[in-house]
Structure 1
Amino acid sequence: MSAITWTPLWGWPVASLIAVAMLAMGIMQIVLWRRSRGGPTDVTAGSVARRVVMCLAVAAAVVAPSLTVSVTTTAVRNTDVVIAVDVTGSMAVTDARYGSAESVSRISAASSAVKDITDMYADSNFSAISFGSSASVDVPLTPDTLAVDNWADRLTVEPTSTSSGSSLDTPLDLLLRTLKSIRDGHPHDEIILYLVTDGENTSAETRRTYSSLRAYLDDAFVLGTGSTQGGRIPVSSVDRTTDDGGKSSSESPEWVIDPTTGKPGTSRMDTKELESLADEMGGTRVIMTKDATARQAMSSSTGKSWRTRTTRSSTTTSSPIVWPIAAVMLVVSLWELTVWLRTSRRLL
């Protein structure tokens, strides 16, 4: 349904003054013509009509008559999923369970979770980040789920020789830059973060908060892997690390020694730290167990709700009616010019 409204370009006060002045000039043309009838003047009814019409056209233009119409817009919203996986030495501990009673390394459980996530968000874009002593973007934003799954298959913990303990704020700066870049490049997309870690933080420094990520996130999940009972940490190296995420191929693996006790160190999943991470991002903490995987913990309806979707919204917009006024001005101006040329030729 359309309707005529008025949308003056310079606001009603200025437009009203100009419109009144033009109307006054039009009336003045008529008054002066009537007073000069019969006298020595070359003003004709036609010339008065033309000038009055010009005044009326200018008055109409400044108050800008507009046609208000209802417009339906269609937008396609995509989902960008950022997956950050902890690859510190503690992720090699074989105390995790993922959908079964079999114990697997924490990094193996993380790998399985990543592949479940890509399956749940099949129509989305993905970016993959690993973090240990440092953080890196291993897979830039891409719709290629196969690339992310291949990355998950190759996930291994960092070598013990380069490890400096677990610091959960290591990926924070990189995550902040990555999420901001995605938001700037795709302002209408939904952005979800999955942080997969055992929650262990051995750094002596106070961990920085993840709350700064909230500005760029629509949702966040912290997936906890491991157990509160914990387990010994195997020594991992580039040439000895296997597909099991740091579990040595030797029958008698070496263990990371705790320098304070001189005995093999034990790593335990920190559920309180996981809860704090989720709370800071306004997200959800999920502990992966034999009964709960990434797929089961987040219902299928959650995954489907974040897929690419088309939304429609109705809005009203005003379109100034310019061409009729311009057409009238053009016709009258050409008429005035023609009369002026004919009169000038007669006077020569």
Structure 2
Amino acid sequence: MSSFTFAPALGWVAGSVIAATMAVAAVAVIWLHAVRRGASDETPGMCIRRCAACVLVALMALTPCIATTTTTRAVSATDVVIATDVTKSMDVADATYGDQEGISRLEAARLAIDDIVKAYPNSSYAGISFGAQGTLDVPLTPDAQAIDNWADALETEPASVVSGSLMDSALDALQRTLEHLHESRPDDTVILYVITDGEQTVPHLRRTFSALRPFVKDSCVIGVGSTQGGKVPKSAGSDQWVLDPDTGQPGVSVMDAEQVKAIADELGGSSILTADGMTVADRSIEGEAKRWTQTQSVKERTHLAPVTWPLTMLLLAVLAWEAGAWLAQSRRLVR
């Protein structure tokens, strides 16, 4: 839809001052011509030309424009970022997910990822794993099968690189990914899921996840494992255990529910503990998923196209007429 409007190129203050000055000048030209009629050599044509020039300058100062309004509509612009823990403790077989019990924490994470993807159809997904450090394994893609394949292929980090669990190892990869999404897709809704057992064995102060809050619309931290814990196998399904260096006995890993809830609070989101028999689909986050994926954002933008060139051509014609008349009158006076 197009409409006519004024949008002064110099701003409303300067444009209005110039237009008002030219309007006063036009009135003054007419008044002086009427007052001095018969007492000067000014012809009606001169008065008309000078008055027209003032009016044209006033209109140009107000900058007439054609305003065109366009409407853009975005549907289902949802980006789901999933970060999952792959530290060695995720091999502990003490997890529950729905009606499945005694499965490894990593298997519970796989089931949660499957539910997350189902809850967000027609969205884009990114996958991050974190252990000793965070890694963006799957850059943002609309291919849900790519995330499913990634989840199926997830493995815990080798025992040779294990130096303890540090919960903030995901932060750097998450911040880079979320900042990039915020810059490249500013109109999208970004949802973050973090899947972890919450265990931290490194005696360092954990960095806060609150730095991620400006980049996400909603978030959920999913805690897998049990508060009773279990022995950590050297490899998935193995009967050999990782030994505690302090005691020489098989180490026991326990899901830290308080850590899971603390991270959720820092992100400003919710938490799920699968040990309670809950799944992603059982909690309100699924309802929120439907709300986000059905969101439509409508934006109207107005483009202004100045149309001063006709006024410019008219002004040049009037000035040329005035110059020609002045030149002709000058020659007559010389003779």
The answer, yes or no, to whether TM exceeds 0.5 is yes
Match of 1:272 among 234, 258, 282: 258
Q: Indicate if the aligned counterparts of 2:93 and 2:102 stay in contact, CA closer than 8 A.
A: yes
The 5-angstrom pairing of residues 236-247 of structure 1 reads 236=235, 246-247=236-237
- CA spacing shift, 1:309–1:17, aligned 2, 3 Å: closer
**C-alpha distance after superposition, 1:223-263 (max 9, x if no partner):** 01111111111012xxxxxxxxx222xxxx11111122221
Partner of 2:71: 73
Counterpart amino acid of residue 128 in structure 1: G
Q: Indicate if the aligned counterparts of 2:6 and 2:65 stay in contact, CA closer than 8 A.
A: yes
Q: Indicate if the aligned counterparts of 2:97 and 2:277 stay in contact, CA closer than 8 A.
A: yes
2:290 paired with 1:286? no
Partner of 1:136: 135
Unmatched tracts of structure 2, length 5 or more: none
Aligned mates of 1:340, 1:233 — CA distance in 2: 97
Aligned mates of 2:250, 2:242 — CA distance in 1: 6
**C-alpha distance after superposition, 1:298-323 (max 9, x if no partner):** 454222112163223568x6958x54
Partner of 2:30: 30
Please give the secondary structure, in 2, of the residue aligned with 1:171.
Answer: helix
The 5-angstrom pairing of residues 138-217 of structure 1 reads 138-217=137-216
Q: Indicate if the aligned counterparts of 1:50 and 1:332 stay in contact, CA closer than 8 A.
A: no
Partner of 2:313: 330
Q: Indicate if the aligned counterparts of 1:234 and 1:247 stay in contact, CA closer than 8 A.
A: yes
Aligned mates of 1:132, 1:332 — CA distance in 2: 73
- CA spacing shift, 1:101–1:40, aligned 2, 3 Å: closer
The 5-angstrom pairing of residues 33-112 of structure 1 reads 33-34=33-34, 37-38=37-38, 41=41, 43-64=42-63, 73-76=71-74, 78-112=77-111
**C-alpha distance after superposition, 1:199-245 (max 9, x if no partner):** 11101111111111112111111001111111111012xxxxxxxxx
Please give the secondary structure, in 2, of the residue aligned with 1:103.
Answer: strand
- CA spacing shift, 1:162–1:328, aligned 2, 3 Å: closer
Number of residue pairs matched by the alignment: 330
Structure 1 residue 60, shift from structure 2 partner: 3.2
Counterpart amino acid of residue 330 in structure 1: M
Aligned mates of 1:196, 1:55 — CA distance in 2: 72
- CA spacing shift, 1:12–1:342, aligned 2, 3 Å: closer
Counterpart amino acid of residue 195 in structure 1: V
Counterpart amino acid of residue 45 in structure 2: G
Unmatched tracts of structure 1, length 5 or more: 237-245
Structure 1 residue 194, shift from structure 2 partner: 0.7
Q: CA RMSD in A?
A: 3.1
Structure 1 residue 328, shift from structure 2 partner: 4.8
Structure 1 residue 150, shift from structure 2 partner: 0.4
Structure 1 residue 122, shift from structure 2 partner: 1.7
- CA spacing shift, 1:307–1:288, aligned 2, 3 Å: same
2:289 paired with 1:303? yes
The 5-angstrom pairing of residues 116-131 of structure 1 reads 116-131=115-130
Q: Indicate if the aligned counterparts of 2:123 and 2:293 stay in contact, CA closer than 8 A.
A: yes
**TM-score, length-scaled by structure 2:** 0.86
